[in-house]
C-alpha cells in the first residue's frame, strides 16, 4: 500500500471539504442571510402592525376623500348625488326606495341637502332661510368625522349667513355673519329639513331651495352665485387597495396635525405612509408591501366587526351615544363612518331594534306591536318617528307608501287613556292601517329617530318599550 498516495488523497479531500464548508457555511454569509431574513420579517410585521392602526385611524379621511370625489364629479351616467365643490345637492322629494340612492338607512321625515366644502384657501358662505321654527339641522362634519350642528337646536331658525373658515384663517368676518371654525380644510355639510306631510312638501321645497353655499371670492353677502359646469371623472373605489395608503399619505399632509397624535403619526412615518414621506407603492420593498396588503385586509375586517361594539341595549333597542366626537376611539370612529357618519346625540338619537322581546330576529312574516303608555311617549323637543329597513339598510316598497310612522303621522289613533300602540308587519294587521308601518318581507330592523331628545333620553332614564311578537 502506498501510504504516501493515501495521505495525498486524504489531504485533497480535507482541503476540498474545508473549501466546501467555507463556501456553504461561511459564518459571514450565514449572518448576512439571517440579517436579510430578519430585516424582511421586521419590515413586514411593522408594516402590518402600523398599517392596521393607520387603516383604522385614516378610514374617515380616506372615505371622505372618496366621497368628495365621487359626489363633486360626474362619475357615471345614473349618478344620483352630484354638486360641484362649495354647492348643495338637494333631494327635492322625501326619500323612498327609488330615490334613496347610496343613502344608508335614510329617513322619510325630512328633505336632505348635501354639500362638500373646501376652505383651504378661502372661506365659504352658507345661507339659511327663515324657517319660522320649522325643524332643520346641518351637520358640519370635518375630515376626522367630528360633527358640529347648525340649525333649530343650536343657532335658531332665523335667516342667517354663516362664514366657515379653518381654525388657522386670519381676517375680518363680514358684518352680520356668524363665524364657524372648522378643524380641517374640507368638510361635509349634510342638511335635513322637516316636511310635515305631503301637503307641506311644496312649501318645504321652496325653503330648501333657499339654502345655498358659495366661496367667499365668488359672491358678495346675500348674492347667490351660479352653478359651475360639471366636472367629469372616473369613480374612486380606494378602501381595499394600496391606494388607500397613498390617499391617507396625501390627506395627512393637508389636515392640521393634532398635538396629542404626533407620536402616533410618527409611527406611520416609520413605514413610509406618514406625512414625512411621499408614498409610492412601486418603491416599496416586497416585505413592506406584503405587510400593508395584510393590513388592508385585516383593517377592513376589524371595521366590519366593530359596528356594534360601543352599543348598549335597553328593552331590546340598541343605542349608541358615542357619535360625533370620538377622541382616540379610532376603531369606533371608523365603524360609524362605514355605517354612514352620524349626528351628535343632543341633535338626534337613533335607537335600533333587530330582535323582539323574546330575543328572536325581526321578520316580515311575523306581527309585532309597540305599546306606549300615555305618560311614556318619546320625550323630544322636535319630533320622533320609526322606520323599517332591509339588512342592506334599504327601504322597501309597500302599497301604503308609508316609510315611517311617528307623532306626525296623519290619522294615528290613540287609546281613550292617551296611550298609543303601533303595529309592524308585512301584511296589513287586523287592526287596520292607521297605526301600521309596513315592513320588508324578510328579515329587517327598525330605527327610531328622536329629534332634539329631552335630557331623560340622553341619560337613559327614558327607554323605549319592548317590541312584542303578537303572531298567533
- The pLDDT-based confidence of 197 (bands split at 50, 70, 90) is confident
Domain annotation covers residue 175: yes
Closest by CA to 156, choosing from 178, 173, 174, is 178
Please give the pLDDT value at position 36.
55
Per the model's pLDDT, the better-predicted residue between 78 and 47 turns out to be 47
Tell me the C-alpha to C-alpha distance, in Å, between residue 449 and each of 39, 350, 402, 462: 54, 5, 16, 14
Tell me the C-alpha to C-alpha distance, in Å, between residue 264 and each of 18, 257, 259, 274, 366: 52, 11, 10, 10, 50
User: What whole-number distance in Å separates Cα of residue 103 and Cα of residue 95?
Assistant: 9
Which position has the grid cell 378661502?
122
Domain annotation covers residue 233: no
Q: Is 69 helix (H, G, I), strand (E, B) or coil?
A: helix
User: What whole-number distance in Å separates Cα of residue 459 and Cα of residue 300?
Assistant: 33
Same domain, 342 and 456: yes
> pLDDT tens-digit profile of 431-454?
999 999 999 999 999 999 999 999
Cell reading at 131: 324657517
User: What whole-number distance in Å separates Cα of residue 344 and Cα of residue 324?
Assistant: 5
Instruction: Answer yes or no: are the C-beta atoms of 382 and 390 closer than 8 Å.
Output: no
What are phi and psi for residue 352, nearest 5 degrees?
A: -125, 145
Whether residue 2 is predicted with pLDDT greater than 80 in this model: the reply is no
Domain annotation covers residue 291: no
Please give the pLDDT value at position 99.
79
Please give the pLDDT value at position 30.
47
CATH number reported for the structural domain that contains residue 415 in this entry: 2.60.120.600
Structural domain span for residue 322:
312-469
The greatest distance separating any two alpha carbons of the chain, rounded to the nearest whole angstrom, comes to 125
Residues 6+ apart with CB under 8 A from 334: 55, 56, 59, 60, 302, 303, 306
> pLDDT tens-digit profile of 65-80?
999 999 999 998 888 8
Domain annotation covers residue 297: no
Same domain, 206 and 353: no
CATH number reported for the structural domain that contains residue 129 in this entry: 2.60.40.1610
**What's the total number of domains in the chain?**
2
- The pLDDT-based confidence of 81 (bands split at 50, 70, 90) is confident
The model's pTM: 0.87
Kindly state the percentage of the chain with pLDDT values over 70.
90
> pLDDT tens-digit profile of 349-380?
999 999 998 989 999 999 999 999 999 999 99
User: What whole-number distance in Å separates Cα of residue 146 and Cα of residue 423?
Assistant: 36
User: Which alpha helices (DSSP H) does 255-362 contain, by range?
Assistant: 262-270, 286-305, 330-339
Residues 6+ apart with CB under 8 A from 150: 126, 128, 137, 138, 140, 162, 180
Please give the pLDDT value at position 1.
52
Please give the pLDDT value at position 322.
84
Please give the pLDDT value at position 450.
96
> pLDDT tens-digit profile of 277-300?
999 999 999 999 999 999 999 999
Domain annotation covers residue 77: no
Q: Which of 148, 180, 215 corresponds to the end of one domain?
A: 215
Whether residue 17 is predicted with pLDDT greater than 80 in this model: the reply is no
Cell reading at 274: 406618514
Same domain, 332 and 193: no
What would the DSSP string read from start to end of 445-464? Answer: EEEEEEESB-HHHHTTSS-P
Please give the pLDDT value at position 40.
83
Same domain, 316 and 425: yes
- The pLDDT-based confidence of 10 (bands split at 50, 70, 90) is low
Same domain, 354 and 465: yes
> pLDDT tens-digit profile of 202-258?
999 999 999 999 999 987 666 677 777 778 899 999 999 999 999 999 999 999 999
Same domain, 318 and 210: no
User: What whole-number distance in Å separates Cα of residue 69 and Cα of residue 60?
Assistant: 14
> pLDDT tens-digit profile of 297-326?
999 999 998 876 656 778 889 888 888 999
Q: Which of 215, 234, 257 corresponds to the end of one domain?
A: 215
Domain annotation covers residue 296: no
- The pLDDT-based confidence of 44 (bands split at 50, 70, 90) is very high
Q: Which of 215, 247, 279 corresponds to the end of one domain?
A: 215
Which position has the grid cell 414621506?
277
Strand pairing class (420-425; 436-438): parallel
Same domain, 202 and 318: no
Give the pLDDT mean for 157-170: 97
Sort residue 371 into left (φ over 0), alpha (ψ -120 to 50) or beta.
beta
Q: Average pLDDT of the chain?
A: 90
Over 161-176, what HEC string results?
Answer: EEEEEECCCCCCCCCC
User: What whole-number distance in Å separates Cα of residue 39 and Cα of residue 13?
Assistant: 37
Render the burial of 364-384: b for 16+ CB within 10 Å, e for the rest: bebbbbbebeeeeebebebbb
Domain annotation covers residue 188: yes
Per the model's pLDDT, the better-predicted residue between 343 and 80 turns out to be 343
User: What whole-number distance in Å separates Cα of residue 121 and Cα of residue 144?
Assistant: 19
Domain annotation covers residue 322: yes
User: What whole-number distance in Å separates Cα of residue 315 and Cα of residue 463?
Assistant: 7
User: What whole-number distance in Å separates Cα of residue 115 and Cα of residue 225?
Assistant: 15
User: What whole-number distance in Å separates Cα of residue 296 and Cα of residue 302?
Assistant: 10
Render the burial of 303-329: b for 16+ CB within 10 Å, e for the rest: beebeeebbeeeebbbbbbbbbebeeb
Amino acid at each position: 500500500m502506498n501510504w504516501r498516495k493515501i495521505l495525498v488523497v486524504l489531504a485533497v479531500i480535507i482541503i476540498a471539504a474545508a473549501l466546501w464548508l467555507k463556501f456553504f457555511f461561511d459564518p459571514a454569509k450565514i449572518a448576512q442571510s439571517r440579517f436579510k431574513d430578519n430585516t424582511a420579517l421586521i419590515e413586514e410585521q411593522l408594516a402590518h402592525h402600523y398599517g392596521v392602526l393607520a387603516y383604522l385611524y385614516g378610514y374617515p379621511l380616506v372615505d371622505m376623500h372618496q366621497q368628495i370625489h365621487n359626489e363633486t364629479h360626474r362619475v357615471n351616467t345614473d349618478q344620483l348625488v352630484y354638486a360641484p365643490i362649495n354647492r348643495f345637492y338637494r333631494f327635492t322629494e322625501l326619500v323612498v326606495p327609488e330615490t334613496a340612492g347610496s343613502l344608508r338607512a335614510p329617513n322619510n321625515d325630512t328633505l336632505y341637502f348635501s354639500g362638500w366644502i373646501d376652505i383651504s384657501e378661502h372661506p365659504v358662505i352658507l345661507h339659511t332661510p327663515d324657517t319660522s321654527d320649522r325643524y332643520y339641522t346641518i351637520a358640519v362634519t370635518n375630515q376626522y368625522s367630528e360633527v358640529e350642528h347648525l340649525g333649530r337646536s343650536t343657532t335658531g331658525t332665523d335667516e342667517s349667513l354663516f362664514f366657515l373658515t379653518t381654525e388657522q384663517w386670519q381676517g375680518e368676518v363680514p358684518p352680520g355673519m356668524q363665524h364657524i371654525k372648522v378643524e380641517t380644510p374640507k368638510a361635509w355639510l349634510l342638511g335635513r329639513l322637516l316636511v310635515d306631510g305631503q301637503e307641506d312638501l311644496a312649501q318645504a321645497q321652496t325653503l330648501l331651495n333657499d339654502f345655498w353655499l358659495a366661496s367667499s371670492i365668488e359672491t358678495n353677502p346675500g348674492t347667490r352665485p351660479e352653478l359651475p359646469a360639471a366636472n367629469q371623472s372616473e369613480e374612486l373605489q380606494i378602501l381595499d387597495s394600496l391606494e388607500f395608503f397613498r390617499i391617507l399619505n396625501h390627506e395627512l399632509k393637508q389636515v392640521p396635525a393634532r398635538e396629542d397624535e404626533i407620536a402616533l403619526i410618527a409611527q406611520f412615518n416609520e413605514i413610509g405612509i406618514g406625512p414625512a414621506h411621499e408614498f409610492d407603492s412601486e418603491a416599496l420593498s416586497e416585505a413592506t408591501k406584503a405587510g400593508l396588503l395584510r393590513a388592508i385586509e385585516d383593517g377592513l375586517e376589524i371595521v366590519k366587526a366593530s359596528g356594534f361594539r360601543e352599543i348598549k341595549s335597553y328593552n331590546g333597542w340598541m343605542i349608541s351615544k358615542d357619535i360625533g366626537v370620538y377622541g382616540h376611539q379610532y376603531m369606533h370612529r371608523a365603524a360609524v363612518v362605514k355605517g354612514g357618519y352620524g349626528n351628535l346625540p343632543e341633535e338626534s338619537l337613533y335607537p335600533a331594534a333587530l330582535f323582539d322581546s323574546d330575543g328572536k330576529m325581526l321578520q316580515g312574516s311575523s306581527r309585532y306591536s309597540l305599546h306606549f303608555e300615555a305618560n311614556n311617549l318619546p320625550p323630544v323637543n322636535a319630533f320622533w318617528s320609526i322606520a323599517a329597513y332591509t339588512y342592506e339598510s334599504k327601504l322597501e316598497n309597500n302599497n301604503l307608501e308609508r316609510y315611517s310612522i311617528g307623532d306626525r303621522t296623519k290619522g294615528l289613533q290613540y287609546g281613550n287613556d292617551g296611550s298609543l300602540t303601533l303595529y309592524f308587519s308585512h301584511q296589513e294587521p287586523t287592526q287596520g292601517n292607521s297605526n301600521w308601518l309596513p315592513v320588508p318581507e324578510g328579515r329587517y330592523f327598525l330605527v327610531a329617530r328622536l329629534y332634539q331628545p329631552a335630557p331623560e333620553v340622553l341619560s337613559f332614564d327614558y327607554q323605549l318599550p319592548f317590541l312584542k311578537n303578537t303572531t298567533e
